[in-house]
Amino acid sequence: MALSFNAKWIGAGGATTCLVAFGLLLADASGLWASSDDPLPHRTDLSAADRVRVASVLARPESFETAQPFEAMSGGAATFTGTPDGNAFSRFSQNLSFEQEADFNIGDSLFTKLWVSSPSSTQASDGLGPLFNARSCQSCHLKDGRGHPPVDANDSAISMFLRLSVPPRTPEEFAALESRALLRIPEPTYGGQFQDLAVPGLQAEGRMVITYDEEEVVLADGEVVNLRRPTYSVADLGYGEMDPEVMLSPRVAPPMIGLGLIEAIHPDDILALADPDDEDGDGISGRPSWVLEEQSGELALGLFGWKASNPTVRQQSAGAFSGDIGISTPSVPAAHGDCTENQPDCLAMPTGVQARLGDTEAPDPVLDFVTFYAANLAVPMRRNVDDPEVLRGKALFHDLGCPSCHQPNYVTSRDAATDAHQFQLIWPYSDFLLHDMGEGLADNRPVGDASGSEWKTPPLWGIGLTETVNGHTQFLHDGRARSLLEAILWHGGEAEDARDSVVELGTQDRGALIAFLESL
């Protein structure tokens, strides 16, 4: 059987890159064209032959005795294949051109840039705040990895913050939520994000307070696991009391790897996994999050954020510039960041907008470079994919039903905006849909389509390198879980059956499951 190659991939990274990009060796040739059906009809970017090939590539494995071909290449041809170290999340996609690598490096310098308050002699760097949570993108996403809650009262909360909102009360607010013009109603004084830092001469909004209660879970083999249940509040408020109906929701910074590849997934591949009414009766009813896409003004599938509140890397980046650092961009041009009309002292502070540079503190092409950087942080290569213990854990992962939410793999669109992201076999282990995770994980704060107990399935790729990169093993949206096992035990709602099955596993099987997760 003859298989054709696209020559541009050979130029980008040689024949091996081409094979990884197309996944041509992932199916047995004798059965590749056996079906007369035309699978994946929604993939309008693919030929009929490609659709058959891709469907075969994405089929669930029938045996777990060996690793699937190219399973170790989590990010396709973009995968970083070097020895993982503390900078494993900070490498560029390995199939970028020389010119694209230069753009990545410029974006890197802007991502790590420390912004300063206005006015300043460093006019290319002023505009911080006036209220903020961090002075740079890197401050939250340390080494482009996972944030964590403060270790104690004296530890910085810089990689974690609180989202704020109140219930809608007026017809205008209900209409704004219905149209997706807003995904939540900000707290009237403190806005949409609680900011614990401020420029000189201005009072910060206050500080986040976390208390924990310990809960015991006894596993079937007698092992006792202590879970910590957090409670969140605020103290030392700088601008008066909050609305009595305010809803607080914590967020730790998620890892940055593979974002451009996620955006390159064909949206209909994700929508095909949705089952909002649980028509197949498996107890899993993932729902899409629909949000407004900034540039088109049309509804688009939310992919980024803990509740899938942003459809593109650019929109996610612009929101972080504004909310986290208080820096305006062409996408979010508010120069005073999250300051509200009930904070007149904040609105009276100088900004970093300079007419000679543009209308915002980070004018074009700053956001473009940062977006390109964020979209091209490579996913590290998996480890130990052929290890018998890891393979046994992978089989358990499938038997427990985990792929119902943590969809293992996709082949990205041929029409992706960046050529390095086109037609890549990737392994993010997420369906990018909203799932009800039960009362234990509920923040009771709706955002757009996401209810107060729903969360987007987070990608698992790179999760086994969290300690290597960030020096901790704290997981979930608020870092409450201190291990992968604790994270599993917090699963409820749609994932409760899988969680209960893990509780019933023996010690060796549970160890194999964790070994598989640590290989990702």
Confidence check: pLDDT of 25 > 70:
no
Helix (H/G/I), strand (E/B), else coil: 368: helix
Q: Which amino acid is at 254?
A: P
Question: Between the CA of residue 340 and those of 206, 239, 251, 335, what are the distances in Å?
Answer: 15, 11, 21, 12
Helix and strand counts by DSSP (H, E) for the chain: 16, 13
Q: Hey, CA dihedral for 194, 198, 204, 210, is it positive or negative?
A: positive
Per-residue confidence (pLDDT) for residue 14, from 0 to 100: 35
Question: Between the CA of residue 303 and those of 42, 160, 163, 299, what are the distances in Å?
Answer: 19, 20, 18, 12
Mean pLDDT score, 38-61: 94
Per-residue confidence (pLDDT) for residue 92, from 0 to 100: 98
- Render pLDDT for 207-227 as a digit per residue (tens, 0 to 9): 999 999 999 999 999 999 999
Q: Between these two residues, 153 and 184, which has the higher pLDDT value?
A: 184
Sorting pLDDT into bands at 50, 70 and 90, what band is 6? Answer: very low
**Mean pLDDT over each residue of the chain, to the nearest integer:** 92
Per-residue confidence (pLDDT) for residue 28, from 0 to 100: 35
Per-residue confidence (pLDDT) for residue 104, from 0 to 100: 98
Confidence check: pLDDT of 24 > 70:
no
Residue 178: partners with Cβ closer than 8 Å, 6 or more residues away: none
Per-residue confidence (pLDDT) for residue 3, from 0 to 100: 29
Distance (Å, whole) CA 347 – CA 339: 6
Burial call 314-341: b when 16+ CB within 10 Å, e when fewer: bbbbbbbbbbbbbbbbbbbeebbbbbbe
- In this structure, are residues 236 and 356 in contact, taking their beta carbons and an 8 Å threshold? no
Mean pLDDT score, 328-333: 96
Per-residue confidence (pLDDT) for residue 357, from 0 to 100: 85
Sorting pLDDT into bands at 50, 70 and 90, what band is 19? Answer: very low
Residue 175: partners with Cβ closer than 8 Å, 6 or more residues away: none
Mean pLDDT score, 14-18: 38
Per-residue confidence (pLDDT) for residue 121, from 0 to 100: 83
Per-residue confidence (pLDDT) for residue 35, from 0 to 100: 43
For residue 154, the number of C-alpha atoms closer than 13 Å in the C-beta half-sphere is 0
* CATH numbers and ranges of domains, the chain: 1-59 (no CATH), 64-94+376-519 (1.10.760), 98-265+272-375 (no CATH)
For residue 39, the number of C-alpha atoms closer than 13 Å in the C-beta half-sphere is 17
- Render pLDDT for 168-200 as a digit per residue (tens, 0 to 9): 999 999 999 999 999 999 999 999 999 999 999
